[in-house]
């Protein structure tokens, strides 16, 4: 049996998503799903905040070259997230929702920047 090891950048991304989920749970949110994937794209985290579903994009960027983490969520990425969220809502029932972004400089809870209603 061959053990597959994920590339370092994927391991770092998964670590950042875990830190982001922990941070948001500390803020009172409930984790619903991780890495929801469909034909339209992927949503890193889906959480519940009171009566709303929150679709969360987690971005880890170690430096601000090329605009940093926030600039990497361009209109094309926003569209994929929106279509994926619409699909999730069709499967699981419509309700109030929003899109948040977690920006990080490292997979450390002290570097978390949380932008609610990002787009």
Tell me if 49 is assigned to some domain: yes
Q: ∠ at Cα 56 (51, 34), nearest 5°? A: 95
pLDDT at 89 over 80: yes
In a domain, 83, yes or no: yes
In a domain, 32, yes or no: yes
Averaged over 1-24, what is the pLDDT?
Answer: 77
Q: Are 48 and 54 in contact (CB under 8 A)?
A: yes
pLDDT for res 62 = 61
In a domain, 111, yes or no: yes
Residue 113 φ/ψ, nearest 5 degrees: -120, 120
In a domain, 2, yes or no: no
Tell me the C-alpha distance between 50 and 56, whole Å: 15
Q: Are 36 and 86 in contact (CB under 8 A)?
A: no
Mean of all residue pLDDT scores within the chain: 86
Q: What is the pLDDT of residue 110?
A: 83
What are the tens digits of pLDDT across the range 43-86? 999 999 999 999 999 988 765 555 555 666 778 888 999 999 99
pLDDT for position 73: 75
Q: What is the pLDDT of residue 67?
A: 52
The reply to whether 100 falls in a domain is yes
- Look at the alpha carbons of 30, 31, 37, 41 in this order and tell me if their dihedral is positive or negative: positive
| Number of domains composing the chain | 1
Residue 22 lies in a domain: yes
What pLDDT was estimated at residue 60? Answer: 84
Tell me whether residue 48 is in a domain: yes
**C-alpha dihedral, 37 to 54 to 99 to 16, nearest 10°:** -70
Range of the domain at 63: 8-115
Distance CA 89, CA 96 (A): 10
CATH of the domain at 23: 3.40.1350.10
């Amino acid at each position: 049996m061959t053990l597959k090891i994920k590339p370092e950048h994927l391991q770092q991304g998964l670590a950042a998503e875990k830190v982001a989920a922990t941070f948001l749970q500390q803020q009172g949110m409930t984790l619903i799903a991780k890495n929801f994937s469909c034909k339209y794209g992927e949503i890193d985290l889906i959480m519940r905040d009171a009566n709303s579903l929150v679709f969360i994009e987690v971005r880890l960027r170690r430096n601000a070259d090329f605009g940093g983490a926030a600039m990497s969520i361009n209109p094309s990425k926003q569209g994929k997230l929106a279509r994926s969220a619409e699909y999730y809502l069709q499967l699981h029932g419509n309700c109030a929702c929003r899109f948040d972004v977690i920006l990080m400089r490292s997979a450390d809870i002290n570097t978390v920047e949380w932008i609610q209603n990002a787009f």
